[in-house]
Copies of this chain bind each other. A is one copy, B any other.
Amino acid sequence: MTVSYDGTDFKGWQVQPGERTVQGELQAALGSIAGETPLPQGSGRTDAGVHALAQVASFALNAPVPAANLQRALNRILPPSIRILAVEAAPPEFHARHAAVAKTYEYRIFRGAICPPFVSRFVHVCRWPLNLQIMREAAESVMGSHDFISFAASDSDLSLRSRAASDGETGMTVRTIYLSRWEERESEAGSLLIYRVRGNGFLHHMVRNLVGTMLEIGRGQLPAGAMAGILKQRARSAAGPTAPARGLFLHSVEYEKP
């Protein structure tokens, strides 16, 4: 199934006891429709406050509910902040995370003195001047395959294992970025700066750390060409701060055509 959600009121994707999560809401809704509670497996977790335009999740149901009926029933039961955009049958071996070949994220920044209350849940507000040209160059410089450990949450499993590995370049934190660019968009609500990044995978906090670092470059707190050096240092401390969750959207997940 393809799921869109406003992440503001959830403690992220992953089910947690006593917390309201997207995965938990989906599991409960499946339970009340089909009497079975498979845990839908997402293409990846999203953190608390992160949104999704089209997250993909897979699950197995024994009850023979037609896809269209399941979609309608889920949208009736789920809160308006979670919408099921599509439900499709998949081969039994399909797993939304293992089968994903690429993902695209968007990070939205509101430019201007006063952010309308109707968009503030979905943007990071930046008031200071930014040099968009050098931010575009910084975005360009992460294209291709790199060890992104400098941009991984320092508490993440992979990051800890990779840092502990004796040979340095272990490959566990290497990712390939196919597209990385800043776009400007004028909307009714004001001017938006949107970072769009597509890659074969992303480490925990990687997009938010890339954005936080490029914002530091854009405002002159880090030198224009800093990205290459930060990648080389393989240290979270070399990069900039983590940009807030509210601006981040999982835009889409790609799979190989069957």
Contact = CB atoms under 8 A, between A and B. Distances in A.
B116 A83 contact: yes
A60 to B, nearest CB: 24
Protomer copies? 2
A120 interface: yes
Interface stretch (A74-82, A141-149, A204-212): A74-82
B82 A117 contact: yes
B114 A75 contact: yes
A8 to B, nearest CB: 9
A118 interface: yes
Nearest to A51: B118
A6 interface: yes
A124 B153 CA distance: 40
B51 A83 contact: no
Given A75-B114, A114-B75, A120 B80 contact: yes
16 contacts: A4-B116, A4-B117, A6-B117, A6-B120, A51-B117, A51-B118, A75-B114, A80-B117, A80-B120, A80-B125, A81-B120, A82-B117, A83-B116, A84-B114, A85-B114, A118-B122
